[in-house]
Homo-oligomer: A and B are copies of this chain.
């Protein structure tokens, strides 16, 4: 068993070193990168579409889409007005810093203000792999249920901001917001949160403003 653990640590070490190189490359080009994570269907692609439509009015945006299969998400991001790169991970349940390096090779970072990375739909694996992004963002969604912070603590612990999507569905599902927020606060005190609906647009202004402030 100890041999197996040693190999895993070595992989993680290599990934972290490459993530630091990715970050340096972004900083030299003056690009902000955010890494968006969520379970399947929480609304990553919808949030990115909305964000690109709004911010592409005056910013150049690249979207790197990670999926096990298909190019559906990159096509949606491109239609919204972004430079889009699709990464199909095959069976892998997360993006890693090597994949990100390959994606950056396909983008002229000097022409870009903001890179939005859409990680693979998963609440477990992506938490363990740094990509080099400046901010890690998690999307929770109301119909997923209020117990997710308790059940996926590593993901909630490691992020810099939380988008709570599909608030338009609150009248139709059981979701105890106090219970949810207590779980979040225990794992990640003071975490910046954005309750939104990507369907109606409610709450998105605060999210756009936060991003604009980061870009400066």
Contacts and interface: CB of A to CB of B under 8 A. Distances in A.
A164 to B, nearest CB: 13
B143 A41 contact: yes
A124 B151 CA distance: 17
A151 B91 contact: no
A176 interface: no
A199 interface: yes
A177 interface: no
A77 B67 CA distance: 33
Interface stretch (A19-27, A28-36, A68-76, A107-115): A68-76
Interface string A151-190: 1111000000000001011001110000000000000000
A60 interface: no
A13 interface: no
Contact of A151 (B121, B172, B199): B121
A150 interface: yes
A2 to B, nearest CB: 15
A145 interface: yes
Nearest to A69: B153
Given A40-B144, A91-B154, 9 more contacts: A39-B39, A40-B151, A41-B145, A68-B124, A68-B151, A69-B152, A69-B153, A93-B124, A121-B152
